[in-house]
Structure 1
Amino acid sequence: MGTNYVAYWKTLPYKLLVGLKWIGFGVLTGILVGGVSALFAKAIVLATGFRLAHTWIVFLLPLAGLFIVWFYHRLGARKPRGTNLVLEAIRESERVPVKMAPLIIVSTVLTHLFGGSAGREGAALQVGGSLGHGLGQLLHFRKEERRRTIMCGMSAAFSALFGTPLAATVLSMEISTVGVMYYSSLVPCAVSALTAHFVAQVINPGSEAMLLSAVPAFYVRDAVCTGLFAWACALVSILFATSMHSSKKLLQKYFPNDYIRVAVSGVIIVVLTLLVGDQTYNGTGSNIIASCIENPTFKLAFYAFLLKILFTSVTLGGGFQGGEIVPSLFIGATFGHVVGSFTGMNPALCSAIGMACVFCGVTNCPLASLLIAFEMFGFDASSYFILAIAITYLFSGNYGIYGAQKIRFSKWDPAEIDANTH
């Protein structure tokens, strides 16, 4: 014990320097990435507002798709791999091109402006990863430290866009390899997430939280109902993940040309929008998510979650850019609201649980899902959330929206499987 005590104090100066180095990098990353992400979020809001005020613009979606494909080709990204590239870079300590940031920002804003169905967090993970890596290069960090710089940027971007610094800290450490947590990145990820959250609040004041007004007491009957609902959410998350992968494969098979594929995808979205009669399923659908949580009398079609799956799968499968996580929150919220309305359970609580569960099912990140639930909805329903997320994680199997994500350990048995999600 005495030897260990002496060794600790001998190495303390070095540890302090390393700690200060990563704290400083976290602050710099939080300021840079947080500022860029907050401005990006503002651009998404402005684009959405313009589209809703000028609904005719959705007819130009195919043309916007052509420009997005041209833009990617022009900058040398003929086969964009998006978030999958970032996940592989974390695992293998590979490079993330800095040009990914302007590519995903411009293309995601255009997708939202013209009515594609997508989220914003795909841009968050890609922008954060590329800028974090770029800042590390600028500061001459070693190759061995590349993983931390990428994850640090991802945490900052996610925190700035979603207002959930706790979940953002954990998500980047959890998402690349399921079953493995990169704890060496905890300090820079935490510092960058908190710094970015502060910067984002200065640029875009407000909160993403949607606190639940009333949470029923948690008894045995509630636990059973929650467990069954979580299992259903696992099935919905599998449906969403397989739809995303299948739509991309089908569109690539029948329309191998990038320009034709994105134009056809845009036309399909325009036709679907006309058939629906409004733009409920275009863009992020954040207003629908908020209504499910905050408005007990809110009414929507029981198949709303299926339409969002269809809209998002066609949009992103065809070559438009954006994220899958906000659509997963929409899917979970609408599915939960419908289940709650039909079964007599609290619709708002079911919507909140559905959001957390579907997010967990498609990302395979139970800890980040739990923290997102706490930060967005408060701790009063903690028993519901932890049970539901655990069951969804178990029954969602090896499915996920990111094909480059690795499942290191089996969800069912104490064994290593080291398999990609499907």
Structure 2
Amino acid sequence: MEVLIEKLRIIEKMKIIRKYIITFLKWVIIAGITGLLAGLVGSVFHISVEYATTFRVKNDWVIFILPLGGIIIIWLYNLLKMSENIGTNLVIKSVRTDDKVPFVMAPLIFISTVITHLFGGSAGREGAALQLGGSIGTQVGKIFKLDEKDMHLITLCGMSGVFAALFGTPLTATFFSMEVISVGIIHYSAFIPCIVSSICAYKVSIFFGIEPVRFNLAIIPNISPENMIKVAILGGLCALVSIIFCRSLHKTNTFLSNLIKNSYIRVFLGGLVIVILTFVIHTRDYNGAGMDVITNAINGNSKPEAFILKIIFTAITISVGYKGGEIVPTFFIGATFGCFAGKLLGIDPGFGAAIGLIALFCGVVNTLITSVILSIELFGAQGLILFAIACGVSYMLSGYYSLYSSQKIVYSKLKAEFIDRNAL
């Protein structure tokens, strides 16, 4: 009898082991396929945006077509019976609920973002990355007939993959997808699927010749009490700017939607305002993503007013209906503000720009671990402690404001308390 019982125990253990192995292999295969697709789509999207940006830079006159480009975007969304307000928030919400990410979202956000960049709207590309990835993940999940819980994971896989392909930061992409959905908790069951998808997508982007986003810092301060205090102050200031940026986006959107009900008129007038502002300030720095301005700031060169103007340009662009994303503008705002504030605080302006970029990103998306990892992938690990301090301060002091209104704040930032509330 004892021998029989022992055999039954062994059989039961073998069943458990088999379950783990099958689940592991399932996700390696499905996430790998998702990553390859995400990498392919993300690479084509990246090349398209870069081509659009290059064309715009070489042909200044195309900015006059921006209002017409906005009308085309609204028309496309109406043609395919999609609200222009549906976007990244739907993808984030779908991971927590039964909401589905429609396939049509992928081509819409792809084309609309390219149009925005081609004609000079102030936007990034991560919004498109998350929507493209969410759509790809959902379609792969349908093909493999995944259940509800697994559909949530495959959506995260798609998000991670396209994000990694666009920015060349696979570990950041992995944790961003895991951390951005619900602030205060991370479901580590998503790690293997997301990291596999991210690495596959990243390798595909390298194959297409897309260089990862990397910066070299000329000066990295020592970890001294004085420098830690300065960095903490800069992190606190970035938290304040993050609140201003988030509120500017949301309030501008609400104000313009109430003021101008017709979406065609709203996007046309908004595009016209961007064109006028561009000529008033006599520079094209605030059209498109502005990666060159970010690079200059990290090299220690930036205009004091740059971060304010970028907030204005981005708030108008996104609020009236143009597409893209807010993360690269966040990098722009953070880097230029950090460069400016760093000089005032006695921090090397280039290093201040790097701190500002990371700390502001942390403040607007509420992803602490992701932000620390991003600092390593973008700038290396030498200044890790200082980056971590700035991120911690920005995360805590930025409150419950977010770029994404569908983001859920599960646990308080101030104490171990379950609050389960939507971001502001």
Name the TM tier (shorter chain). Answer: over 0.9
Query: Partners in 1 of 2:10 and 2:222 — Cα distance?
Result: 49
Deviations 1:93-133 (A, max 9, x none): 43111111000000000000000000000000000001111
What corresponds to 2:315 in structure 1? 313
Q: Secondary structure at the match of 1:418?
A: strand
Q: Secondary structure at the match of 1:11?
A: helix
Q: 2:193 matched to 1:188?
A: yes
Q: 2:206 matched to 1:227?
A: no
Q: How does 1:37-48 map to 2 (within 5 A)?
A: 37-48=42-53
Q: 2:217 matched to 1:212?
A: yes
Q: Secondary structure at the match of 2:419?
A: strand
Question: Of the candidates 367, 370, 373, which is equivalent to residue 368 of structure 1?
Answer: 370
What corresponds to 2:90 in structure 1? 85
* RMSD (Å) for aligned C-alpha atoms: 1.4
Segments of structure 2 that go 5 or more residues without pairing to the other structure are 1-5
Deviations 1:231-285 (A, max 9, x none): 0000000000000001100110110111011111101101110111121001000
Question: Of the candidates 77, 102, 109, which is equivalent to residue 107 of structure 2?
Answer: 102
Question: Of the candidates 150, 156, 162, which is equivalent to residue 155 of structure 2?
Answer: 150
Question: Of the candidates 234, 244, 259, which is equivalent to residue 249 of structure 2?
Answer: 244
Query: Partners in 2 of 1:393 and 1:8 — Cα distance?
Result: 43
Query: Partners in 1 of 2:98 and 2:151 — Cα distance?
Result: 6
What corresponds to 1:387 in structure 2? 389
On the 8 A contact 2:74/2:84 being kept in 1, the answer is no
Query: Partners in 2 of 1:205 and 1:325 — Cα distance?
Result: 19
Question: Of the candidates 344, 356, 359, which is equivalent to residue 357 of structure 1?
Answer: 359
What corresponds to 2:182 in structure 1? 177
Q: Runs of 4+ in structure 1 displaced over 6 angstroms?
A: 2-6
Larger Rg: 2
On the 8 A contact 1:159/1:168 being kept in 2, the answer is yes
Segments of structure 1 that go 5 or more residues without pairing to the other structure are none
Query: Partners in 2 of 1:388 and 1:376 — Cα distance?
Result: 16
Query: Partners in 1 of 2:9 and 2:339 — Cα distance?
Result: 56
Query: Partners in 2 of 1:47 and 1:357 — Cα distance?
Result: 29
Q: Secondary structure at the match of 1:81?
A: coil
Alignment-mate amino acid for residue 343 of structure 1: L
Deviations 1:188-236 (A, max 9, x none): 1010001100000111342311132331211000111111110000000
Query: Partners in 2 of 1:4 and 1:412 — Cα distance?
Result: 46
Q: Which moved more, 1:102-111 or 1:11-20?
A: 11-20
Alignment-mate amino acid for residue 156 of structure 1: G
Query: Partners in 2 of 1:334 and 1:195 — Cα distance?
Result: 33
Q: 2:20 matched to 1:18?
A: no
What corresponds to 2:3 in structure 1? none
What is the CA-CA distance between 1:79 and the residue it aligns to? Answer: 4.2
What corresponds to 1:399 in structure 2? 401
Alignment-mate amino acid for residue 399 of structure 2: G
Q: Secondary structure at the match of 1:379?
A: coil
On the 8 A contact 1:72/1:80 being kept in 2, the answer is no
What corresponds to 1:74 in structure 2? 79
What is the CA-CA distance between 1:135 and the residue it aligns to? Answer: 1.0
Query: Partners in 1 of 2:404 and 2:209 — Cα distance?
Result: 29
On the 8 A contact 1:93/1:146 being kept in 2, the answer is no
The two structures have a TM-score, normalised by structure 2, of: 0.96
Q: Secondary structure at the match of 1:408?
A: strand
Q: How does 1:113-124 map to 2 (within 5 A)?
A: 113-124=118-129
What corresponds to 1:31 in structure 2? 36
Q: 2:419 matched to 1:417?
A: yes
Question: Of the candidates 256, 264, 272, which is equivalent to residue 269 of structure 2?
Answer: 264
Query: Partners in 2 of 1:360 and 1:205 — Cα distance?
Result: 25
Q: How many residues align?
A: 418
Change (3 A) 1:228 1:10: same
Q: Secondary structure at the match of 2:410?
A: strand
Deviations 1:156-214 (A, max 9, x none): 01000011000111111110111121211111101000110000011134231113233
On the 8 A contact 1:94/1:146 being kept in 2, the answer is no
What is the CA-CA distance between 1:8 and the residue it aligns to? Answer: 4.3
The two structures have a TM-score, normalised by structure 1, of: 0.97
Q: Secondary structure at the match of 1:180?
A: coil
What is the CA-CA distance between 1:6 and the residue it aligns to? Answer: 7.5
